[in-house]
Structure 1
Amino acid sequence: MYSTRMMSNLLVQLLILLVSSLVCWSQECNTNEEVYKEVDRPSSCKEILDKYPATPSGYYYLKTSKVYCDMDTEHCGSKGWTRVAHVDMSNKLQSCPGDLNLITSPIHTCGGLTTPGCASAKFSTHGISYSKVCGRVRGYQVGETNAFGPYVNDQGNPGLVMDGILISHGQKQSHIWAYVTGFQRQASDELNYYCPCADYRFNGVVPSFIGNDYYCDSGVDSSPQKGIFYTTPLWNGKGCTPPNFCCSHSGMPWFCKTLPVPTTDYIELRNCQNNNGGVISEDTAVELMELYVK
């Protein structure tokens, strides 16, 4: 029988082997050594967690690149997510991705274009075959945003059917989720300019390609003005009063989407304005955005 000391030594050796394998993935490894080859790298964060359930969150080397793995948070009810995008404009050194425009005041954020349409940013998914996407967006209303109006019937141009953030994947821009910016929290006459959840009398149309996969919110209770940056955070599940039920989604600001079929597509974020565009009229200013795949 093993003595207590021998058992302790054996456990220590096993722990060292485990840590060594993780270190090889989480730091620069010498690919010329026989003990490590690039082809042996894991293909996803989930693969690492499946093999080593105690792996902490942090940066790891996959087959294609260095990524951040969230091993602790149960996004969509499970762990082991690969982060593909992270924009935090509270860091003043952070630049806006893609062709989004920097807004420096009153909050350091990223806005859209100055004409109708969408500013775009694309994010690699590191060659991972994924079927689930989760994420969150924190943004602010600028000016007279109007949710899904007035060009809701222009299905040929998704960039003109809403104000807010569209998240999609691949060249076909297959829809994942939308963070929509409405006119004001308390609806009145022009109901199609408001979030559908702002009032049960909503008489507009949600574009068919979006369906129910969206959150909608407004940053002002009544009468927004052109060009004014409203500093109330959007899509956080707070600030709604009846008949507005936009805060009823328990997962806000996080979304979770299961795709019909797995894909390795890049993910695209588009900041869209459907009316006159720009900070002089309407915009959605993004302060924080995170996207994960599995």
Structure 2
Amino acid sequence: MSCQEILEANPKAVSGDYTIVYPNGTAYTVYCKMDTTDCGEGGWTRIAYINMTEPGATCPDGFVTKDYNNIDHSLCGINFSSGGCQSVLFSTNGLNYSKVCGQIRGYQYASPDAFYGSISVGLDSRYVCGYSITRGNPRQHIWTYAGGINQNNLNNYDCPCNTGFTHNLPPSYVGNDYYCESGLPVGQTHSPVLYSNDPLWDGQQCLGLEGPCCTNNPNLPWFNKALNGVSNTNYIEVRSCTLYGSTNEDTPLDILELYIK
């Protein structure tokens, strides 16, 4: 029985831990999201959960723990002297799904370049400074969280959702399935620091030209993606990517959740 089947059998079921039986016959305790907030409907099975604001929280294998002097908890990120991506794979344990819902909250460090890296590369490369969420192999795009360098500029390393942006970005394999924000205060020049006062992808403080990045996406930080009727059991991969190296640009996160149904 899946989270969806539990909800169908008991429409008053609440979000929490349930025992479900996976296709291989093994019973697991999982968190079922039964409420209609965030994902818009109930019956979701959680496959990924990171919340670094909670006591004792740790980063998953693949990401590294990063500490900064202007935020009171650790973040999860990557360490690259030059550009690249680091992956974390989340198994579905054989559960069929045709929808994915989730959220990421990150922070701008220094000068992330949004989709600038995608000008000459594809989905398998470092096409974004931020997070690429895909399924299976070969990778199939689900959602992208991009960090732009400046809220009030229109260069090709700023957010495509900024008012007046005319560059041919994001790439076609991303389409409209992305969120993009900058955490750099309007009027400031970027420095090698963490901008902790304006978290990325939280739907808040989209100032100046960046306004539509929030107002046009009222569900931020949550995305809800239907896979065009495709039912599959593919693992979901979250890649943290940087174009020029994490000492130059980074978007470390403190919250990540993924649900399937």
TM-score, normalised relative to structure 2? 0.89
Q: Does 1:289 align with 2:253?
A: no
Query: Distance in 1 between the 2:136 and 2:91 partners?
Result: 10
Q: Could you tell me whether the CA contact under 8 Å between 1:152 and 1:160 is conserved in 2?
A: no
How far apart, CA to CA, are the structure 2 residues paired with 1:180 and 1:52?
39
SS in 1 for 2:125: helix
- Structure with max Cα Rg: 1
Question: Is the partner of 2:8 in helix, strand or coil?
Answer: helix
- Which runs of structure 2 are paired with 1:161-176 in the superposition (5 Å)? 161-176=127-142
Gaps of 5+ in 2: 23-27
Determine the C-alpha separation between the residues in 1 that align with 2:92 and 2:107: 27
One-letter amino acid matched to 1:271? S
Alignment deviations for residues 159-200 of structure 1 (CA, whole Å, 9 cap, x no partner): 321100111111222111011000111105xx1010011231
User: What is aligned with 1:154?
Assistant: 121
Which residue in 1 is equivalent to 2:177? 213
Q: Could you tell me which residue of structure 2 aligns to residue 179 of structure 1?
A: 145
Please give the residue correspondences for 1:97-176 in structure 2 after superposition, counting only pairs within 5 Å: 97-106=60-69, 107=71, 108-114=74-80, 115-155=82-122, 158-176=124-142
What is the TM-score normalised by the length of structure 1? 0.79
Match of 1:241 in 2: 207
Q: Determine whether 1:254 maps to 2:206.
A: no
1:37-56 equivalent positions in 2, closer than 5 A? 42=1, 44-56=2-14
Corresponding letter in the other structure for 1:258: A
Q: CA 1:55–1:101 in 2, change beyond 3 Å: closer, same or farther?
A: same
Secondary structure in structure 2 of the residue aligned to 1:230 = strand
Instruction: Report the Cα distance in structure 1 between the residues aligned to 2:200 and 2:251, rounded to whole angstroms.
Output: 10
Are the counterparts in 1 of residues 39 and 102 from structure 2 also a CA contact under 8 Å? no
SS at match of 1:243: helix
SS at match of 2:161: helix
Partner Cα separation in structure 1 for residue 117 and residue 37 of structure 2: 38
Q: CA deviation at 1:76?
A: 3.8
Q: What displacement does 1:144 show?
A: 1.0
**Paired AA for residue 170 in structure 1:** G
Distance 2:232 2:12 in 1: 28
Q: Distance in 1 between matches of 2:147 and 2:110?
A: 10
Deviations 1:20-70 (CA, angstroms, capped at 9, x unpaired)? xxxxxxxxxxxxxxxxxxxxxx1x100111112222221111113221011
In structure 2, how many angstroms separate the alpha carbons of the residues matched to 1:148 and 1:92?
A: 34
1:194 aligns with 2:158: yes
Deviations 1:228-271 (A, max 9, x none): 11101111112123432211211111101000311111111111
Residues 53-103 of structure 1 show CA distances to partners (whole Å, capped at 9, x for unaligned) of: 222221111113221011123444311111111100112422211311111
> In structure 1, how many angstroms separate the alpha carbons of the residues matched to 2:227 and 2:161?
25
Equivalent residues, number: 246
Q: State the 1:113 CA deviation.
A: 3.3
Q: Please name the residue that 1:31 is paired with.
A: none
The letter for the 2-side match of 1:110 is: C
Q: Which residue of 1 aligns with 2:54?
A: 91
The alignment yields a C-alpha RMSD, in angstroms, of 1.6
Q: Which amino acid aligns with 2:8?
A: D
More deviation in 105-114 or 257-266?
Answer: 105-114
Give the Cα separation in 2 of the matches to 1:259 and 1:113: 32
Q: Is the 8 A contact 1:142 1:283 kept in 2?
A: yes
Matched residues, percent identical?
A: 40
Greater share of helix residues, 1 or 2?
Answer: 1
